[in-house]
A and B are shown apart, each in its own frame.
Chain A
Protein backbone atom coordinates (compact mmCIF):
# COMPACT_ATOMS: atom_id res chain seq x y z
CA UNK A 1 0.00 0.00 0.00
CA UNK A 2 1.53 3.31 -1.05
CA UNK A 3 0.87 6.87 0.05
CA UNK A 4 -2.60 8.29 -0.52
CA UNK A 5 -1.36 10.61 -3.26
CA UNK A 6 0.39 7.76 -5.01
CA UNK A 7 -2.79 5.67 -4.80
CA UNK A 8 -4.85 8.53 -6.21
CA UNK A 9 -2.44 9.05 -9.13
CA UNK A 10 -2.64 5.32 -9.82
CA UNK A 11 -6.40 5.71 -10.15
CA UNK A 12 -5.95 8.68 -12.48
CA UNK A 13 -3.70 6.53 -14.64
CA UNK A 14 -6.28 3.77 -14.63
CA UNK A 15 -8.98 6.25 -15.64
CA UNK A 16 -6.76 7.55 -18.45
CA UNK A 17 -6.19 3.98 -19.63
CA UNK A 18 -9.92 3.35 -19.71
CA UNK A 19 -10.48 6.56 -21.67
CA UNK A 20 -7.78 5.47 -24.11
CA UNK A 21 -9.48 2.10 -24.56
CA UNK A 22 -12.70 3.92 -25.47
CA UNK A 23 -10.97 6.31 -27.90
CA UNK A 24 -11.94 9.14 -25.56
CA UNK A 25 -8.68 11.03 -25.90
CA UNK A 26 -10.17 14.30 -24.61
CA UNK A 27 -10.99 12.71 -21.28
CA UNK A 28 -7.66 10.94 -21.30
CA UNK A 29 -6.08 14.40 -21.45
CA UNK A 30 -8.22 15.49 -18.51
CA UNK A 31 -7.23 12.44 -16.44
CA UNK A 32 -3.58 13.12 -17.25
CA UNK A 33 -3.98 16.72 -16.05
CA UNK A 34 -5.62 15.33 -12.96
CA UNK A 35 -2.69 12.99 -12.32
CA UNK A 36 -0.34 15.97 -12.46
CA UNK A 37 -2.52 18.11 -10.21
CA UNK A 38 -2.87 15.28 -7.71
CA UNK A 39 0.88 14.71 -7.75
CA UNK A 40 1.22 18.30 -6.54
CA UNK A 41 -0.49 17.41 -3.26
CA UNK A 42 2.25 15.04 -2.23
CA UNK A 43 6.00 15.16 -1.80
CA UNK A 44 6.85 12.67 -4.54
CA UNK A 45 7.71 14.83 -7.55
CA UNK A 46 8.40 11.95 -9.89
CA UNK A 47 4.67 11.22 -10.10
CA UNK A 48 4.41 14.30 -12.33
CA UNK A 49 6.20 12.41 -15.08
CA UNK A 50 3.40 9.86 -15.37
CA UNK A 51 0.77 12.52 -15.98
CA UNK A 52 3.08 14.43 -18.30
CA UNK A 53 3.60 11.40 -20.53
CA UNK A 54 -0.07 10.43 -20.43
CA UNK A 55 -1.04 13.92 -21.57
CA UNK A 56 1.46 13.60 -24.37
CA UNK A 57 -0.12 10.34 -25.53
CA UNK A 58 -3.61 11.86 -25.41
CA UNK A 59 -2.49 14.88 -27.45
CA UNK A 60 -0.66 12.59 -29.89
CA UNK A 61 -3.80 10.60 -30.56
CA UNK A 62 -5.99 13.69 -30.77
CA UNK A 63 -3.53 15.09 -33.31
CA UNK A 64 -3.47 11.92 -35.38
CA UNK A 65 -7.25 11.62 -35.37
CA UNK A 66 -7.68 15.27 -36.32
CA UNK A 67 -5.31 15.00 -39.27
CA UNK A 68 -7.03 15.44 -42.59
CA UNK A 69 -5.61 12.41 -44.38
CA UNK A 70 -6.96 8.97 -43.54
CA UNK A 71 -5.09 8.10 -40.38
CA UNK A 72 -4.10 4.76 -38.93
CA UNK A 73 -5.66 5.48 -35.56
CA UNK A 74 -6.08 1.82 -34.58
CA UNK A 75 -2.38 1.07 -35.13
CA UNK A 76 -1.38 4.26 -33.29
CA UNK A 77 -3.62 3.24 -30.43
CA UNK A 78 -1.89 -0.11 -30.20
CA UNK A 79 1.45 1.67 -29.74
CA UNK A 80 -0.04 4.10 -27.24
CA UNK A 81 -1.75 1.36 -25.23
CA UNK A 82 1.43 -0.68 -25.12
CA UNK A 83 3.38 2.31 -23.78
CA UNK A 84 0.73 3.15 -21.17
CA UNK A 85 0.52 -0.48 -20.01
CA UNK A 86 4.29 -0.73 -19.66
CA UNK A 87 4.42 2.59 -17.84
CA UNK A 88 1.70 1.41 -15.49
CA UNK A 89 3.69 -1.73 -14.83
CA UNK A 90 6.82 0.26 -13.97
CA UNK A 91 4.85 2.66 -11.77
CA UNK A 92 3.28 -0.21 -9.86
CA UNK A 93 6.11 0.20 -7.38
CA UNK A 94 6.02 3.53 -5.58
CA UNK A 95 9.81 3.80 -5.72
CA UNK A 96 9.97 3.30 -9.49
CA UNK A 97 12.93 4.66 -11.41
CA UNK A 98 12.24 7.65 -13.63
CA UNK A 99 14.86 6.42 -16.10
CA UNK A 100 12.75 3.35 -16.85
CA UNK A 101 9.76 5.49 -17.78
CA UNK A 102 11.93 7.74 -19.94
CA UNK A 103 13.24 4.72 -21.85
CA UNK A 104 9.70 3.57 -22.54
CA UNK A 105 8.68 7.07 -23.56
CA UNK A 106 11.61 7.35 -25.96
CA UNK A 107 10.66 4.08 -27.62
CA UNK A 108 7.03 5.17 -27.87
CA UNK A 109 7.96 8.60 -29.25
CA UNK A 110 10.07 7.12 -32.02
CA UNK A 111 7.29 4.77 -33.00
CA UNK A 112 4.37 7.17 -32.88
CA UNK A 113 6.16 9.91 -34.83
CA UNK A 114 5.75 7.87 -38.02
CA UNK A 115 2.02 8.41 -37.77
CA UNK A 116 2.56 12.11 -38.28
CA UNK A 117 4.81 12.10 -41.33
CA UNK A 118 3.60 12.54 -44.86
CA UNK A 119 4.29 10.00 -47.58
CA UNK A 120 6.94 12.26 -49.13
CA UNK A 121 8.66 12.82 -45.80
CA UNK A 122 8.69 9.11 -45.12
CA UNK A 123 10.16 8.48 -48.54
CA UNK A 124 12.87 11.13 -48.44
CA UNK A 125 14.21 11.68 -44.93
CA UNK A 126 16.66 9.23 -43.43
CA UNK A 127 18.57 9.10 -40.21
CA UNK A 128 18.99 12.61 -38.83
CA UNK A 129 20.10 12.05 -35.25
CA UNK A 130 23.24 14.13 -35.68
CA UNK A 131 21.35 16.92 -37.39
CA UNK A 132 18.77 16.91 -34.61
CA UNK A 133 21.59 17.44 -32.11
CA UNK A 134 23.10 20.31 -34.10
CA UNK A 135 19.72 22.01 -34.46
CA UNK A 136 18.83 21.49 -30.79
CA UNK A 137 22.10 23.02 -29.63
CA UNK A 138 21.62 25.97 -31.93
CA UNK A 139 18.08 26.54 -30.68
CA UNK A 140 19.12 26.36 -27.02
CA UNK A 141 21.86 28.90 -27.65
CA UNK A 142 19.43 31.06 -29.58
CA UNK A 143 16.94 30.95 -26.72
CA UNK A 144 19.68 31.85 -24.27
CA UNK A 145 20.98 34.81 -26.28
CA UNK A 146 17.58 36.15 -27.31
CA UNK A 147 15.58 35.52 -24.16
CA UNK A 148 14.61 39.20 -24.17
CA UNK A 149 12.17 38.38 -27.00
CA UNK A 150 10.06 36.65 -24.35
CA UNK A 151 9.34 40.08 -22.89
CA UNK A 152 7.91 41.40 -26.13
CA UNK A 153 4.15 41.49 -26.46
CA UNK A 154 2.76 39.06 -29.01
CA UNK A 155 6.01 37.12 -29.28
CA UNK A 156 5.78 33.46 -30.18
CA UNK A 157 9.37 32.65 -29.32
CA UNK A 158 8.91 29.40 -27.39
CA UNK A 159 6.29 28.19 -29.84
CA UNK A 160 8.69 29.04 -32.66
CA UNK A 161 11.49 27.02 -31.09
CA UNK A 162 9.13 24.12 -30.51
CA UNK A 163 7.97 24.39 -34.09
CA UNK A 164 11.53 23.97 -35.36
CA UNK A 165 12.33 21.16 -32.96
CA UNK A 166 9.19 19.21 -33.64
CA UNK A 167 9.35 19.45 -37.41
CA UNK A 168 12.80 17.86 -37.22
CA UNK A 169 11.66 15.37 -34.63
CA UNK A 170 8.69 14.34 -36.73
CA UNK A 171 10.89 13.11 -39.55
CA UNK A 172 13.87 11.64 -37.68
CA UNK A 173 14.33 9.31 -34.77
CA UNK A 174 15.08 11.23 -31.62
CA UNK A 175 17.73 10.61 -28.96
CA UNK A 176 17.03 10.71 -25.24
CA UNK A 177 18.90 14.02 -24.84
CA UNK A 178 16.74 15.70 -27.49
CA UNK A 179 13.61 14.19 -26.00
CA UNK A 180 14.60 15.73 -22.66
CA UNK A 181 15.01 19.13 -24.34
CA UNK A 182 11.71 18.83 -26.16
CA UNK A 183 9.81 17.80 -23.02
CA UNK A 184 11.30 20.58 -20.90
CA UNK A 185 10.54 23.18 -23.57
CA UNK A 186 6.96 21.94 -23.88
CA UNK A 187 6.58 22.27 -20.10
CA UNK A 188 8.21 25.71 -20.15
CA UNK A 189 5.88 26.86 -22.91
CA UNK A 190 2.88 25.70 -20.88
CA UNK A 191 4.01 27.75 -17.93
CA UNK A 192 4.95 30.74 -20.08
CA UNK A 193 1.46 30.59 -21.58
CA UNK A 194 0.06 31.59 -18.20
CA UNK A 195 2.55 34.41 -17.75
CA UNK A 196 1.84 35.65 -21.24
CA UNK A 197 -1.86 35.84 -20.45
CA UNK A 198 -1.57 37.36 -17.01
CA UNK A 199 -2.33 41.07 -16.44
CA UNK A 200 -0.14 43.40 -18.45
CA UNK A 201 1.18 46.85 -17.89
CA UNK A 202 -0.92 49.84 -18.90
CA UNK A 203 0.76 50.01 -22.32
CA UNK A 204 -0.02 46.35 -23.05
CA UNK A 205 3.47 45.00 -22.34
CA UNK A 206 4.09 41.73 -20.55
CA UNK A 207 4.90 41.79 -16.86
CA UNK A 208 8.68 41.89 -17.22
CA UNK A 209 9.48 41.06 -13.63
CA UNK A 210 7.21 38.05 -13.64
CA UNK A 211 8.92 36.63 -16.70
CA UNK A 212 12.44 37.49 -15.53
CA UNK A 213 11.78 35.80 -12.19
CA UNK A 214 9.57 32.97 -13.40
CA UNK A 215 11.01 31.94 -16.76
CA UNK A 216 14.60 33.15 -17.08
CA UNK A 217 15.94 30.97 -14.23
CA UNK A 218 14.61 27.94 -16.10
CA UNK A 219 16.39 29.05 -19.26
CA UNK A 220 19.60 29.29 -17.22
CA UNK A 221 19.06 25.76 -16.01
CA UNK A 222 18.32 24.47 -19.51
CA UNK A 223 21.55 26.05 -20.76
CA UNK A 224 23.41 24.59 -17.80
CA UNK A 225 22.09 21.08 -18.40
CA UNK A 226 22.41 20.97 -22.17
CA UNK A 227 24.96 23.68 -22.89
CA UNK A 228 28.00 21.48 -22.91
CA UNK A 229 27.36 18.82 -25.48
CA UNK A 230 30.38 16.79 -24.45
CA UNK A 231 29.14 16.41 -20.91
CA UNK A 232 26.73 13.64 -20.01
CA UNK A 233 23.24 15.03 -19.55
CA UNK A 234 22.19 14.76 -15.94
CA UNK A 235 18.88 12.88 -15.88
CA UNK A 236 18.37 13.96 -12.28
CA UNK A 237 18.57 17.62 -13.22
CA UNK A 238 16.27 17.06 -16.20
CA UNK A 239 13.67 15.44 -13.97
CA UNK A 240 13.96 18.20 -11.40
CA UNK A 241 13.41 20.94 -13.99
CA UNK A 242 10.55 19.13 -15.68
CA UNK A 243 8.85 18.37 -12.38
CA UNK A 244 9.25 21.92 -11.16
CA UNK A 245 7.86 23.35 -14.39
CA UNK A 246 4.91 20.98 -14.25
CA UNK A 247 4.30 21.87 -10.61
CA UNK A 248 4.28 25.58 -11.42
CA UNK A 249 2.03 25.03 -14.40
CA UNK A 250 -0.54 23.15 -12.31
CA UNK A 251 -0.23 25.83 -9.66
CA UNK A 252 -0.95 28.46 -12.32
CA UNK A 253 -4.03 26.48 -13.31
CA UNK A 254 -5.30 26.72 -9.73
CA UNK A 255 -4.65 30.46 -9.75
CA UNK A 256 -6.08 31.29 -13.17
CA UNK A 257 -7.76 28.12 -14.46
CA UNK A 258 -8.18 28.06 -18.23
CA UNK A 259 -7.11 31.51 -19.31
CA UNK A 260 -8.53 33.07 -22.39
CA UNK A 261 -5.80 33.93 -24.88
CA UNK A 262 -5.03 37.62 -25.16
CA UNK A 263 -6.90 39.20 -28.08
CA UNK A 264 -5.05 38.96 -31.34
CA UNK A 265 -2.70 36.21 -30.23
CA UNK A 266 -4.63 33.47 -31.91
CA UNK A 267 -7.48 33.46 -34.38
CA UNK A 268 -10.37 34.97 -32.47
CA UNK A 269 -13.54 32.97 -32.47
CA UNK A 270 -16.74 34.74 -33.33
CA UNK A 271 -20.42 34.33 -33.92
CA UNK A 272 -22.24 34.74 -37.15
CA UNK A 273 -25.80 35.93 -37.39
CA UNK A 274 -28.03 33.56 -39.32
CA UNK A 275 -29.26 34.58 -42.75
CA UNK A 276 -32.78 35.01 -41.41
CA UNK A 277 -31.66 37.57 -38.81
CA UNK A 278 -29.62 39.45 -41.40
CA UNK A 279 -32.68 39.61 -43.60
CA UNK A 280 -34.76 40.98 -40.73
CA UNK A 281 -32.19 43.68 -40.01
CA UNK A 282 -32.09 44.58 -43.67
CA UNK A 283 -35.91 44.78 -43.77
CA UNK A 284 -35.99 46.93 -40.65
CA UNK A 285 -33.51 49.36 -42.18
CA UNK A 286 -35.40 49.50 -45.47
CA UNK A 287 -38.72 50.03 -43.68
CA UNK A 288 -37.31 52.82 -41.54
CA UNK A 289 -35.69 54.48 -44.54
CA UNK A 290 -38.93 54.19 -46.49
CA UNK A 291 -40.81 55.79 -43.62
CA UNK A 292 -38.30 58.62 -43.47
CA UNK A 293 -38.31 59.32 -47.19
CA UNK A 294 -42.14 59.26 -47.46
CA UNK A 295 -43.52 62.80 -47.73
CA UNK A 296 -45.18 63.72 -44.45
CA UNK A 297 -48.81 64.71 -44.68
Chain B
Protein backbone atom coordinates (compact mmCIF):
# COMPACT_ATOMS: atom_id res chain seq x y z
CA UNK B 1 0.00 0.00 0.00
CA UNK B 2 2.77 2.36 1.04
CA UNK B 3 4.80 1.55 -2.06
CA UNK B 4 1.86 2.32 -4.26
CA UNK B 5 1.34 5.74 -2.72
CA UNK B 6 4.99 6.54 -3.19
CA UNK B 7 4.74 5.51 -6.82
CA UNK B 8 1.92 8.00 -7.23
CA UNK B 9 4.13 10.69 -5.75
CA UNK B 10 7.02 9.71 -8.07
CA UNK B 11 4.74 9.85 -11.07
CA UNK B 12 3.33 13.18 -10.02
CA UNK B 13 6.76 14.73 -9.63
CA UNK B 14 7.84 13.30 -12.93
CA UNK B 15 4.75 14.59 -14.71
CA UNK B 16 5.07 18.12 -13.30
CA UNK B 17 8.75 18.90 -12.95
CA UNK B 18 9.59 22.14 -11.22
CA UNK B 19 6.21 22.53 -9.54
CA UNK B 20 6.58 23.54 -5.86
CA UNK B 21 5.90 20.71 -3.37
CA UNK B 22 3.02 22.63 -1.79
CA UNK B 23 1.19 22.85 -5.10
CA UNK B 24 1.80 19.18 -5.80
CA UNK B 25 0.48 18.28 -2.39
CA UNK B 26 -2.64 20.42 -2.90
CA UNK B 27 -3.25 18.85 -6.30
CA UNK B 28 -2.87 15.33 -4.95
CA UNK B 29 -5.11 15.99 -1.95
CA UNK B 30 -7.69 17.59 -4.24
CA UNK B 31 -7.59 14.61 -6.56
CA UNK B 32 -7.93 12.13 -3.71
CA UNK B 33 -10.81 14.05 -2.15
CA UNK B 34 -12.59 14.28 -5.47
CA UNK B 35 -12.17 10.57 -6.20
CA UNK B 36 -12.89 9.15 -2.76
CA UNK B 37 -16.70 9.52 -2.81
CA UNK B 38 -17.01 7.47 -6.00
CA UNK B 39 -14.47 4.92 -4.80
CA UNK B 40 -16.31 4.53 -1.53
CA UNK B 41 -19.63 4.13 -3.25
CA UNK B 42 -18.33 1.49 -5.62
CA UNK B 43 -16.37 -0.46 -3.00
CA UNK B 44 -17.86 -3.79 -2.14
CA UNK B 45 -17.60 -3.61 1.60
CA UNK B 46 -17.29 -6.79 3.64
CA UNK B 47 -20.16 -7.39 6.05
CA UNK B 48 -19.85 -6.09 9.59
CA UNK B 49 -18.85 -9.00 11.83
CA UNK B 50 -21.74 -10.08 14.02
CA UNK B 51 -21.33 -9.60 17.77
CA UNK B 52 -21.96 -13.33 18.27
CA UNK B 53 -19.09 -14.26 15.95
CA UNK B 54 -16.82 -11.73 17.66
CA UNK B 55 -17.73 -13.14 21.05
CA UNK B 56 -16.93 -16.66 19.92
CA UNK B 57 -13.62 -15.49 18.52
CA UNK B 58 -12.77 -13.68 21.72
CA UNK B 59 -13.44 -16.89 23.66
CA UNK B 60 -11.25 -18.81 21.23
CA UNK B 61 -8.30 -16.43 21.47
CA UNK B 62 -8.37 -16.66 25.25
CA UNK B 63 -6.29 -19.79 24.82
CA UNK B 64 -3.52 -17.87 23.09
CA UNK B 65 -0.46 -16.41 24.78
CA UNK B 66 -0.94 -12.96 26.23
CA UNK B 67 0.89 -10.97 23.57
CA UNK B 68 -0.72 -12.98 20.76
CA UNK B 69 -4.10 -12.49 22.35
CA UNK B 70 -3.70 -8.76 22.66
CA UNK B 71 -2.46 -8.58 19.07
CA UNK B 72 -5.53 -10.50 17.85
CA UNK B 73 -7.84 -8.33 19.92
CA UNK B 74 -6.26 -5.19 18.57
CA UNK B 75 -6.54 -6.39 15.01
CA UNK B 76 -10.24 -7.27 15.50
CA UNK B 77 -10.99 -3.87 16.96
CA UNK B 78 -9.12 -2.08 14.19
CA UNK B 79 -10.87 -4.13 11.52
CA UNK B 80 -14.35 -3.61 12.99
CA UNK B 81 -13.82 0.08 13.47
CA UNK B 82 -12.43 0.56 10.01
CA UNK B 83 -15.27 -1.30 8.31
CA UNK B 84 -17.96 0.46 10.34
CA UNK B 85 -16.33 3.80 9.53
CA UNK B 86 -16.40 3.01 5.84
CA UNK B 87 -20.11 2.20 6.15
CA UNK B 88 -20.64 5.38 8.11
CA UNK B 89 -18.82 7.44 5.53
CA UNK B 90 -20.74 5.89 2.66
CA UNK B 91 -23.96 6.61 4.47
CA UNK B 92 -22.93 10.18 5.09
CA UNK B 93 -22.31 10.55 1.38
CA UNK B 94 -25.65 9.07 0.48
CA UNK B 95 -27.90 11.21 2.61
CA UNK B 96 -31.32 10.82 4.18
CA UNK B 97 -33.38 7.75 3.37
CA UNK B 98 -36.32 9.87 2.37
CA UNK B 99 -38.49 7.43 0.49
CA UNK B 100 -37.50 4.32 2.39
CA UNK B 101 -39.81 1.95 4.14
CA UNK B 102 -37.18 0.60 6.50
CA UNK B 103 -34.16 2.09 8.18
CA UNK B 104 -31.79 -0.75 7.25
CA UNK B 105 -31.69 0.56 3.71
CA UNK B 106 -30.08 3.70 4.98
CA UNK B 107 -26.80 2.28 3.74
CA UNK B 108 -28.16 2.26 0.19
CA UNK B 109 -28.37 5.21 -2.18
CA UNK B 110 -29.35 8.75 -1.30
CA UNK B 111 -32.63 10.54 -1.62
CA UNK B 112 -34.40 12.11 -4.51
CA UNK B 113 -37.12 14.14 -3.03
CA UNK B 114 -36.99 17.26 -0.98
CA UNK B 115 -40.01 19.16 -2.13
CA UNK B 116 -41.76 19.36 1.17
CA UNK B 117 -38.67 20.22 3.16
CA UNK B 118 -37.93 23.05 0.80
CA UNK B 119 -41.25 24.69 1.50
CA UNK B 120 -39.95 25.93 4.80
CA UNK B 121 -37.17 27.73 3.18
CA UNK B 122 -39.07 29.00 0.21
CA UNK B 123 -38.45 32.67 -0.33
CA UNK B 124 -34.97 32.50 1.09
CA UNK B 125 -33.41 31.19 -2.07
CA UNK B 126 -31.93 34.40 -3.33
CA UNK B 127 -28.45 33.04 -3.04
CA UNK B 128 -27.37 35.30 -0.20
CA UNK B 129 -28.51 33.29 2.76
CA UNK B 130 -27.23 30.13 4.33
CA UNK B 131 -30.66 28.55 4.05
CA UNK B 132 -30.17 27.76 0.42
CA UNK B 133 -29.64 24.06 0.93
CA UNK B 134 -31.33 23.39 4.23
CA UNK B 135 -31.81 19.71 3.46
CA UNK B 136 -28.13 19.14 4.10
CA UNK B 137 -28.68 20.14 7.71
CA UNK B 138 -31.70 17.90 7.98
CA UNK B 139 -29.97 14.94 6.44
CA UNK B 140 -26.95 15.38 8.61
CA UNK B 141 -29.03 15.53 11.74
CA UNK B 142 -30.97 12.47 10.69
CA UNK B 143 -27.81 10.56 9.95
CA UNK B 144 -26.10 11.29 13.17
CA UNK B 145 -29.14 10.53 15.23
CA UNK B 146 -29.34 7.02 13.80
CA UNK B 147 -27.97 4.51 16.29
CA UNK B 148 -26.32 2.41 13.56
CA UNK B 149 -23.91 5.13 12.61
CA UNK B 150 -22.67 6.13 16.03
CA UNK B 151 -18.90 6.25 15.89
CA UNK B 152 -17.27 4.52 18.83
CA UNK B 153 -15.30 6.98 20.95
CA UNK B 154 -11.60 7.18 20.30
CA UNK B 155 -11.89 5.16 17.11
CA UNK B 156 -9.60 5.37 14.15
CA UNK B 157 -11.01 7.67 11.50
CA UNK B 158 -9.48 7.32 8.08
CA UNK B 159 -11.42 10.21 6.61
CA UNK B 160 -13.37 13.14 7.92
CA UNK B 161 -16.82 14.02 6.59
CA UNK B 162 -16.72 17.25 4.60
CA UNK B 163 -19.71 18.51 6.54
CA UNK B 164 -18.80 18.42 10.19
CA UNK B 165 -21.38 17.25 12.69
CA UNK B 166 -23.22 20.21 14.16
CA UNK B 167 -22.78 20.32 17.87
CA UNK B 168 -25.98 19.60 19.70
CA UNK B 169 -27.23 22.69 21.43
CA UNK B 170 -28.24 22.23 25.05
CA UNK B 171 -31.91 22.56 24.11
CA UNK B 172 -34.20 22.39 27.13
CA UNK B 173 -36.82 19.72 27.46
CA UNK B 174 -40.28 21.25 27.05
CA UNK B 175 -43.36 19.32 28.13
CA UNK B 176 -46.99 20.39 27.92
CA UNK B 177 -49.72 18.76 30.00
CA UNK B 178 -52.91 17.36 28.46
CA UNK B 179 -55.17 20.22 29.52
CA UNK B 180 -52.87 22.83 28.00
CA UNK B 181 -52.52 20.69 24.88
CA UNK B 182 -56.29 20.62 24.48
CA UNK B 183 -56.43 24.38 24.72
CA UNK B 184 -53.67 24.78 22.11
CA UNK B 185 -55.66 22.65 19.69
CA UNK B 186 -58.98 24.43 20.23
CA UNK B 187 -57.95 28.03 20.87
CA UNK B 188 -56.05 29.62 17.95
CA UNK B 189 -54.92 32.67 19.89
CA UNK B 190 -53.72 30.56 22.77
CA UNK B 191 -51.79 28.40 20.29
CA UNK B 192 -50.08 31.56 19.01
CA UNK B 193 -49.24 32.60 22.56
CA UNK B 194 -47.82 29.18 23.43
CA UNK B 195 -45.72 29.13 20.26
CA UNK B 196 -44.26 32.55 21.05
CA UNK B 197 -43.83 31.64 24.70
CA UNK B 198 -42.04 28.38 23.91
CA UNK B 199 -39.73 30.14 21.49
CA UNK B 200 -38.83 32.72 24.12
CA UNK B 201 -38.28 30.03 26.74
CA UNK B 202 -36.08 27.93 24.46
CA UNK B 203 -34.15 30.98 23.27
CA UNK B 204 -33.48 31.97 26.88
CA UNK B 205 -32.33 28.47 27.81
CA UNK B 206 -30.03 28.29 24.80
CA UNK B 207 -28.57 31.70 25.54
CA UNK B 208 -27.96 31.19 29.25
CA UNK B 209 -27.45 27.40 29.20
CA UNK B 210 -28.91 27.33 32.68
CA UNK B 211 -32.44 26.00 32.23
CA UNK B 212 -32.81 22.31 31.55
CA UNK B 213 -36.55 21.81 31.75
CA UNK B 214 -39.79 23.66 31.18
CA UNK B 215 -43.18 22.27 32.01
CA UNK B 216 -46.35 24.03 30.90
CA UNK B 217 -49.30 23.02 33.05
CA UNK B 218 -52.85 24.21 33.54
CA UNK B 219 -53.77 24.54 37.19
CA UNK B 220 -57.19 25.02 38.71
CA UNK B 221 -57.67 27.14 41.79
CA UNK B 222 -58.93 25.14 44.73
CA UNK B 223 -61.31 27.86 45.93
CA UNK B 224 -62.41 29.15 42.52
CA UNK B 225 -62.49 26.07 40.25
CA UNK B 226 -63.44 28.05 37.13
CA UNK B 227 -60.24 30.06 37.43
CA UNK B 228 -57.60 28.30 35.39
CA UNK B 229 -54.05 29.48 35.20
CA UNK B 230 -51.12 28.43 33.07
CA UNK B 231 -47.96 27.79 35.02
CA UNK B 232 -44.54 27.48 33.45
CA UNK B 233 -42.38 25.43 35.79
CA UNK B 234 -38.67 25.86 35.23
CA UNK B 235 -35.85 23.68 36.40
CA UNK B 236 -32.37 25.09 36.59
CA UNK B 237 -29.61 22.71 37.56
CA UNK B 238 -26.25 23.69 38.93
CA UNK B 239 -27.27 27.22 39.89
CA UNK B 240 -27.40 28.81 43.32
CA UNK B 241 -30.49 30.31 44.87
CA UNK B 242 -29.65 33.94 44.03
CA UNK B 243 -28.85 33.11 40.42
CA UNK B 244 -32.11 31.22 40.08
CA UNK B 245 -34.01 34.27 41.29
CA UNK B 246 -32.16 36.46 38.77
CA UNK B 247 -32.92 34.04 35.91
CA UNK B 248 -36.56 33.91 36.97
CA UNK B 249 -36.81 37.72 37.00
CA UNK B 250 -35.12 38.09 33.64
CA UNK B 251 -37.26 35.46 31.94
CA UNK B 252 -40.43 36.87 33.42
CA UNK B 253 -39.55 40.26 31.89
CA UNK B 254 -38.90 38.67 28.49
CA UNK B 255 -42.17 36.77 28.52
CA UNK B 256 -44.25 39.82 29.54
CA UNK B 257 -42.62 41.95 26.83
CA UNK B 258 -43.47 39.30 24.23
CA UNK B 259 -47.14 39.90 25.04
CA UNK B 260 -46.72 43.57 24.16
CA UNK B 261 -45.38 42.55 20.77
CA UNK B 262 -48.25 40.12 20.21
CA UNK B 263 -50.69 42.92 20.98
CA UNK B 264 -48.99 45.13 18.40
CA UNK B 265 -49.43 42.47 15.71
CA UNK B 266 -53.03 41.88 16.56
CA UNK B 267 -54.63 44.85 18.36
CA UNK B 268 -58.09 43.29 18.13
CA UNK B 269 -56.93 40.48 20.42
CA UNK B 270 -55.52 42.84 23.08
CA UNK B 271 -58.15 42.06 25.68
CA UNK B 272 -57.83 38.30 25.24
CA UNK B 273 -54.04 38.56 25.33
CA UNK B 274 -54.21 40.58 28.55
CA UNK B 275 -56.36 37.89 30.06
CA UNK B 276 -53.89 35.12 29.09
CA UNK B 277 -51.03 37.24 30.41
CA UNK B 278 -52.79 37.80 33.73
CA UNK B 279 -53.28 34.08 34.15
CA UNK B 280 -49.78 33.07 33.19
CA UNK B 281 -47.29 32.40 35.95
CA UNK B 282 -43.64 31.47 35.80
CA UNK B 283 -42.31 29.41 38.63
CA UNK B 284 -38.70 28.47 39.20
CA UNK B 285 -38.01 25.31 41.16
CA UNK B 286 -35.82 26.71 43.94
CA UNK B 287 -34.93 23.51 45.72
Task: List the interface of chain A (C-beta within 8 A of B).
Answer: 26-27, 29-30, 33-34, 37, 55-56, 59-60, 62-76, 78-79, 81-82, 111, 114-116, 122-123, 158-159, 162-167, 169-170, 185-186, 189-190, 193-194, 196-197, 249, 253, 257-261, 266-274, 278, 281-282, 284-286, 288-289, 292
Contact = CB atoms under 8 A, between A and B. Distances in A.
A257 B122 contact: no
A278 B100 CA distance: 37
19 contacts: A63-B134, A66-B134, A68-B131, A69-B199, A70-B206, A71-B199, A72-B198, A78-B181, A78-B194, A123-B264, A162-B122, A167-B123, A269-B95, A270-B93, A270-B162, A271-B37, A272-B161, A284-B5, A285-B25
A197 B203 CA distance: 41
Contacts of B125: 163
B52 interface: no
A221 B184 CA distance: 39
B92 interface: yes
A6 to B, nearest CB: 18
Contact of A162 (B32, B96, B115): B115
A288 B13 contact: yes
B112 to A, nearest CB: 4
Interface stretch (B64-72, B101-109, B220-228, B234-242): B101-109
A32 B192 CA distance: 28
Interface residues of B, number: 87
Contact of B6 (A37, A81, A272, A288): A288
Contacts of B93: 269-271
Interface stretch (B73-81, B141-149, B275-283): B141-149
Contacts of A114: 191-192, 195
A271 B33 contact: yes
A27 to B, nearest CB: 7
A259 B137 contact: no
Contacts of A79: 184-185, 191
B53 interface: no
Given A69-B199, A71-B199, A271-B89, A261 B115 contact: no
A258 B97 contact: yes
Interface of B: 5-6, 9-10, 12-13, 21-22, 24-25, 28-29, 32-34, 36-37, 40-41, 89, 92-103, 105, 108-120, 122-123, 125, 131, 133-138, 141-142, 145-146, 157, 159-163, 174-176, 181, 184-185, 188, 191-192, 194-199, 202-203, 206, 216, 264-265
Which 9 A/B pairs are nearest by Cβ-Cβ distance? A166-B119, A167-B122, A167-B123, A72-B198, A193-B112, A70-B202, A74-B174, A70-B203, A63-B120
Given A67-B120, A74-B198, A260 B13 contact: no
Interface of B, secondary structure class, is helix
A217 to B, nearest CB: 20
Nearest to A32: B101
Contacts of B192: 114
Nearest to A249: B99
B118 to A, nearest CB: 6
Given A260-B109, A273-B29, 7 more contacts: A30-B97, A30-B102, A72-B195, A78-B184, A79-B185, A159-B114, A269-B162
B112 A194 contact: yes
A5 B26 CA distance: 57
A257 B33 contact: no
A179 to B, nearest CB: 12
A116 B120 contact: yes
Given A63-B117, A78-B185, A274 B12 contact: no
Given A59-B117, A267-B133, A285 B105 contact: no
Contacts of B92: 269
A292 B11 CA distance: 12
A205 to B, nearest CB: 19
A75 B13 contact: no
A82 B29 contact: no
Nearest to A267: B133
B265 A289 contact: no
B25 A274 contact: no
